[in-house]
Amino acid sequence: MIRNLIKNKQQNEGVEALSNDERRHFLKMGLKLTGVFAGGSLLSLVSVVVKVYATPGQFKDKYPYRPHYSMVMHLDYCVDCERCIEACAATNDIPKYGFRTNILERQIPDGIDQQVEFMPVLCNHCNVAQCARVCPTAATYKNEQNGIVMMDVKKCIGCLSCQLACPYNARYFNEEKWAVDKCDFCFDTRLSKGVDLTACAEACPAGVRIFGDISDPKSRVYREVHQVSRTVWVLRPEAGTKPNVFYTRG
Amino acid sequence: MANGIVPSSLTLGEIESALVGRLRSGGNGYYVAVLLSGVLMLVGAIAALYATVGGHHTIYNVTREIPWGVLISGYIFFVVTATGLCLISSIGHIFGSKTFMPIAQRAVFLSIVTLMSGFFVILAEIKVPIRMLIYNIISPNFTSSIWWMGTLYGFALCLMIFEFIFLLIGRHRPAIACGFVALLAEIAAISNLAGVFGLLNGREFWHGPYLPIFFIASAMMVGASAIIFFQILAQKVNGEPFTPMMRTCLAGARKVAILMICIILFFTIWRTVSTLVGMPNGQYVGVMAMLTGPYALSFWGGEILMALLAPLVLYILSRGTNIRMMLLASGLMLLGAFFMRYNMVIVGQIIPVYIDLNVTGFTELLQYFPSTNEIIITLGAFGLTGFLFLLGEKIFNGHKVEDH
């Protein structure tokens, strides 16, 4: 076998004898193949781009929902007055043992200008909502028009897998409703009745919570997310859920 | 049909008198065991009903941050054991290994029983089970691992019941067909069960392709031990001697158990090493909670010693002939496997989702310990397994299997 290989190698005609036409033909074929692969890669990239966005800078021109509701939090404005929590509870009939929105507190012992920071949190209405993926009965789902993650209470079996899947601790079981409850950007109580703002955004005296349609370039949330002078981030980006609640300072 | 265990020519009256006769053949120890397991099952069922009607929040110790407690651990324990038993039964009954033939029918029956025990626990865990029965069918979510897992396990349970009935009436061909499809359904179901946890990339402790492989290997390990445990108990219950064929069968199951223990040990060691070296935060915190933290006893004592090392040593020392040593090994393995499931479910949740943000209340590990009610329901599921196993031994006349 080795002898055959050596023999074949000796019989190789080499590239010197190739005509220019053959070389040109070979190059054309290579370019075509490359084109097919490159085209395929570009197409696949395009499809990824359509799926992702909602992270600043990644996708500026298009958002999948009309309106695409979103919220920007100005962390340094928050003083933990909890009026947002109260307004949310009053508007959405939240029991005392639960919450749809909360304010986390971060101690910064070595901070020069401040030693504590407050961080309002709520459902991030993720584009890749893990809660909606895991729900066995589609009781929680992405609204196809506005991207809000909603609950169909009557379908909730109370397996609590959505609570487990949520990387933001945004869900709790409402014993009165016999279903998991969560923020719906006040869709049921306000947005669907023509009100522009969520209860929490309206109640905040410091203008921490900016709510609006991020698919509208004229909206404040769009401008806040797409400006480049201040850093804008999302919580737990490693969870890969493409959240629609953004954070910034200043 | 005539060569089956239940001859078709019997009248109902004759069947009834045969069953009564079989049930009366037990000794005092048997009746005490039936009574104890029956009481345990009933108390568990009452506790589950009480929790479902009264509301879980007042009775269970689960919280917003730790929504899944010991009941989910129990569910996983039972259904993984059921899958393991189904796999073990398939070696003889479906794939034709004569060594495993004597335990095949008992393994099928026990797989049904453990699956029912799993469903018993999950019914107590689901807050609105009535909606589950309706909306799982009319509003399925095909991207949900839970939906697939529940549906496939339900499908497998039906098939195994048919398989068992066909075995009873001596129709082996349809029994094998049902058993084969049930086997596929169980494998698919257990991989989806692992997917429930493994697909959550917001939970580093679980996320990754490791869990489905771990679960299937773990099922085989526990299944082999479960059949050894229950087979030895059954011999005692039925007062039957250990025939050479049965000894060969148990020795075969022991070999499977040893191999799978080694594989699980290998997995556990490498998972721990990779976490300690790479230190991915969420996972690292969880693994440290088990190595040196609040779950150290449960991990080292329950998972490593009781489920893996002690059974491994005992199985090896037994040489496949020392029945008592094998009974002890398999019993320890079953108990330890429960801790294994408990650790996996609970430790994954005690790591706060906001731990990296260093916010007040989420910098430390969260705490959970099952309530009395949760423990009673879990014990009730064990009672159900024991009760049905004991009744089954008498009703089905010791699961005597013919060659097929």
Contact B201/A at CB under 8 A: yes
In a domain, B93, yes or no: yes
Partner residue opposite A157 with nearest CB, options B65, B135, B359: B135
Interface of A with B in 166-185 (CB under 8 A): 166-169, 171-173, 175, 178-179
Is A124 found in the same domain as A22? Answer: no
**A chain contacts of residue B200, beta-carbon cutoff 8 Å:** 130, 134, 164-165
Residue B204 pLDDT > 90? no
pLDDT at B44 over 90: yes
Using the Cβ of B144 and the Cβ atoms of chain A, whether some distance falls under 8 Å is answered with yes
* B101: in domain: yes
Give pLDDT, residue A46.
40
Q: Confirm whether A98 is domain-assigned.
A: yes
Residue among B64, B136, B144 minimizing CB distance to A134: B144
- Six-digit token pair at A123? 């459902």
Nearest to A169 among B64, B140, B358 (CB): B64
**Is B9 inside a domain boundary?**
no
From chain A residues 67-106, the ones with a CB under 8 A of any chain B CB are 97-98, 104-106
pLDDT of residue B167: 87
- Is residue A94 domain-resident? yes
Does residue A103 sit in the same domain as residue A29? no
* Residues A18 and A103 placed together within one structural domain of the fold: no
Number of domains in chain A: 2
B166 belongs to a structural domain: yes
Angle at B198 between CA A170 and CA B111, to 5 degrees: 115
| A193 and A120 fall within a common domain | yes
Residues A41 and A86 in one domain: no
* pLDDT tens digits along B104-137: 888 999 999 999 999 999 999 999 989 998 999 9
Number of structural domains in chain B: 1
Are B357 and A106 inside 8 Å of each other by CB?
A: yes
Whether B404 is in a domain gets the answer: no
Within-domain flag for B69 = yes
B349, closest residue in chain A (CA to CA):
A164
Same structural domain, A39 and A119: no
Taking a C-beta distance cutoff of 8 angstroms, is the pair A102, A120 a contact?
Answer: yes
Binning pLDDT at 50, 70 and 90, where does residue B9 land?
low
Q: Among B56, B122, B131, B283, which would you mutate to test the A interface (most chain A Cβ atoms within 10 Å of its Cβ)?
A: B131
Domain span holding position A107:
69-129+143-150+184-248
Query: A87 and A47, same structural domain?
Result: no
User: Within a domain: residue B89?
Assistant: yes
In a domain, A39, yes or no: yes
Residue A104 forms part of a structural domain: yes
Does residue A220 share a domain with residue A118?
yes
Q: What is the largest CA-CA distance in chain B?
A: 73
pLDDT digit string, tens, across residues A56-81: 445 444 688 889 999 999 999 999 99
- pLDDT number for residue B103: 85
Residue B10 within any structural domain of the chain: no
One domain for residues A32 and A121 = no
In a domain, A19, yes or no: yes
pLDDT of residue B2: 40
Shortest Cα–Cα distance, A73 to chain B (Å): 16
Best mutation target, A152, A156, A159, A175, to test chain B (most B CBs within 10 A): A159
Average pLDDT for runs of 10 along chain A of length 250: 54 63 71 56 40 47 83 94 96 95 92 90 94 95 94 95 94 94 96 94 95 92 90 90 91
Q: Kindly tell me if the per-residue pLDDT of B83 is higher than 70.
A: yes
Burial of A245 (0-12, 13-18, 19+ CB in 10 A): buried
Asked if the model's pLDDT at residue B333 lies above 60, the reply is: yes
- CATH code of residue B183: 1.20.1630.10
Residue at A45 is within a domain = yes
User: Per residue, what are the HEC states of chain A?
Assistant: CHHHHHHHHHHCCCCCCCCHHHHHHHHHHHHHHHHHHHHHHHHHHHHHHHHCCCCCCCCCCCCCCCCCEEEEEEHHHCCCCCHHHHHHHHHHCCCCCCCCCEEEEEECCCCCCCCEEEEEECCCCCCCCHHHHHCCCCCEEECCCCCCEEECHHHCCCCCHHHHHCCCCCEEEECCCCEEEECCCCCCCCHHHCCCCCHHHHHCCCCCEEEEECCCCCCHHHHHHHCCCCCEECCCHHHCCCCCEEEECC
**Min CA distance, B109 vs chain A (Å)?**
28
Domain enclosing residue B147, as ranges: 26-395
Asked whether residue A188 is domain-assigned, the answer is: yes
**pLDDT digit string (tens) for B219-252?**
999 999 999 999 999 988 888 888 888 899 999 9
Predicted confidence at residue A79, as pLDDT, reads 93
Asked whether residue A244 falls in the same domain as residue A215, the answer is yes
Tokens of B195: 């997917």
Is there a contact between A178 and B128 if contact means CB atoms under 8 Å apart? yes
With CB atoms and an 8 Å threshold, state whether B139 touches A139.
yes
Is B66 near chain A, with CB under 8 Å? no
Q: How far is A57 from chain B (nearest CA, A)?
A: 23
The CA distance from A63 to A52, in Å, is: 9
Question: Are A165 and B360 a contacting pair at CB < 8 A?
Answer: no
Question: Is A81 inside a domain boundary?
Answer: yes
Bridge partner residues of A119 (DSSP): A104
A41 and A80, same domain (yes or no): no
A203 with A235, same domain: the answer is: yes
What is residue B142's three-state secondary structure?
coil
Residue from B128, B134, B145 to probe the interface with A (highest A Cβ count within 10 Å): B128
The complex's ipTM works out to 0.88
Does residue A115 belong to the interface with chain B, where contact is any CB pair within 8 Å? Answer: no
A137–B141 CB contact, under 8 Å: yes
